[in-house]
Amino acid sequence: MIISASRRCDLPAFGLEAFLADLKAGFRLVPNPWDARKPRRVELGRKAVDGIVFWTRDPRALLARLGQLQDLGFPFYVQLTITGYPRSLEPGGLGPEEACEAAQALAARIGPEAVLWRYDPIVLAEPGLDPGFHLRNFAVQARRLAGATRSVTLSLLDEYRFTTSRLARAGFHNPAYGSPRKAPAPPSPFPAGSLPAEPWPGLLADLARLAQEADLEARACAEPWDLSSLGIGRASCVDPGLLDRLGGRDPGQPRSQARDRGQRRACGCATSVDVGSYGPCPRACVYCYARR
Mind listing the domains of the chain with CATH numbers?
2-274 (3.80.30)
Amino acid letter for position 27:
F
Residue 51 · residue 74 · CB < 8 Å = yes
Specify which residues 2 forms β-bridges with: 51
215-243 mean pLDDT: 96
Higher pLDDT, 265 or 52: 52
Range scoring the smallest mean pLDDT among 15-19, 177-181, 254-258 = 254-258
256 pLDDT above the threshold of 60: no
Query: In angstroms, rounded to a whole number, what is the distance separating the alpha carbons of residues 130 and 135?
Result: 9
At 106-150, the pLDDT tens digits run 999 999 999 999 999 999 999 999 999 999 999 999 999 999 999
Length of the chain: 292
Quote the pLDDT of residue 186.
Answer: 64
Neighbours of 81 (CB within 10 A): 23
Query: In angstroms, rounded to a whole number, what is the distance separating the alpha carbons of residues 87 and 190?
Result: 34
Quote the pLDDT of residue 93.
Answer: 83
Query: In angstroms, rounded to a whole number, what is the distance separating the alpha carbons of residues 9 and 14?
Result: 8
Higher pLDDT, 277 or 149: 149
Cα 20 to the chain's mean position, in Å?
A: 21
**Band of the pLDDT at 33, cuts 50, 70, 90?**
confident
Query: Roughly how many angstroms between the first and final C-alpha of the chain, as a whole number?
Result: 28
Query: In angstroms, rounded to a whole number, what is the distance separating the alpha carbons of residues 137 and 122?
Result: 11
27 pLDDT above the threshold of 80: yes
Quote the pLDDT of residue 37.
Answer: 84
**Cβ neighbours of residue 35 under 8 Å, at least 6 residues apart?**
none
16 pLDDT above the threshold of 90: yes
Percentage of residues in the chain with pLDDT exceeding 90?
A: 78
What HEC string does the chain produce?
CEEEECCCCCHHHHCHHHHHHHHHHCEEEECCCCCCCCCEEEECCCCCCCEEEEEECCCHHHHHCHHHHHHHCCCEEEEEECCCCCCCCCCCCCCHHHHHHHHHHHHHHHCHHHEEEEEEEECEEECCECHHHHHHHHHHHHHHCCCCCCEEEEEECECCCCHHHHHHHCCCEEEECCECCCCCCCCCCCCCCCCCCCCHHHHHHHHHHHHHHCCCEEEECCCCCCCHHHCCEECCCCCHHHHHHHHCCCCCCCCCCCECCCCCCCCCCECCEECCCCECCCCCCCCCCCEC
Specify which residues 220 forms β-bridges with: 154, 234
